[in-house]
């Protein structure tokens, strides 16, 4: 397996969708890494996180031979560029398709994750209902987009007899 525990260290927390995104990218590329879980991300950040992401102090941070890479989308791109493994590229090769993939990745971060977090932190039922409405609208947009992007490919929007339409 490429990567290696000495070479790659992921600072994260298991609940974070941004961290999960990076874990998926590492897994698709067949890279092994050391997972370093932040025990108390919001109240007591580790020294390693504070010195690795001095600006945002957020996870995920990928340490590659000690060098920190921050921001989940940039980490995914970094993994794609830095590790030419047998696995296919994470992003399309064609520039316009690549731009489109980045557009939807940003949409997921800005719309889906943001409204989901808002729903979780809402102080009133009304606030929560509003945030959930936005979340479901974003999911519908994504479902339609993935179906469209997957035409002719065995991916989203394919009818599988055992699990129905996904």
Ligand X SMILES: N[C@@H](CCC(=O)N[C@@H](CS)C(=O)NCC(=O)O)C(=O)O
Interface residues with ligand X (CB under 6 A) are 16, 18, 41-42, 57-60, 71-73, 109
Least gap, CB of 24 to ligand X (angstroms): 13
Measured from the CB atom, the residue of 37 and 148 that comes closer to ligand X is 37
Least gap, CB of 20 to ligand X (angstroms): 10
Measured from the CB atom, the residue of 111 and 147 that comes closer to ligand X is 111
Least gap, CB of 7 to ligand X (angstroms): 21
Measured from the CB atom, the residue of 42 and 164 that comes closer to ligand X is 42
Main-chain dihedrals φ then ψ at residue 103, nearest 5 degrees: -60, -50
């Amino acid at each position: 397996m490429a990567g290696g525990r000495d070479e790659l260290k992921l600072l994260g927390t298991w609940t974070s969708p941004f961290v999960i995104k990076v874990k998926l990218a590492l897994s698709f590329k067949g890279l092994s890494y050391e997972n370093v879980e932040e025990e108390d991300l919001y109240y007591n950040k580790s020294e390693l996180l504070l010195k690795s992401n001095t600006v945002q102090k957020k996870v995920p941070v990928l340490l590659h031979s000690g060098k920190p890479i921050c921001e989940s989308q940039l980490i995914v791109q970094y993994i794609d560029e830095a590790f030419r493994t047998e696995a296919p590229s994470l992003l399309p090769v064609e520039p316009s398709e690549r731009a489109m993939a980045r557009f939807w990745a940003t949409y997921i971060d800005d719309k889906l994750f943001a409204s989901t977090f808002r729903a979780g932190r809402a102080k009133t039922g009304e606030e929560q209902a509003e945030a959930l409405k936005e979340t479901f609208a974003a999911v519908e947009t994504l479902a339609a987009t993935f179906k469209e992007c997957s035409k002719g490919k065995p991916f989203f929007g394919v009818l599988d007899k055992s699990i129905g339409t996904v």
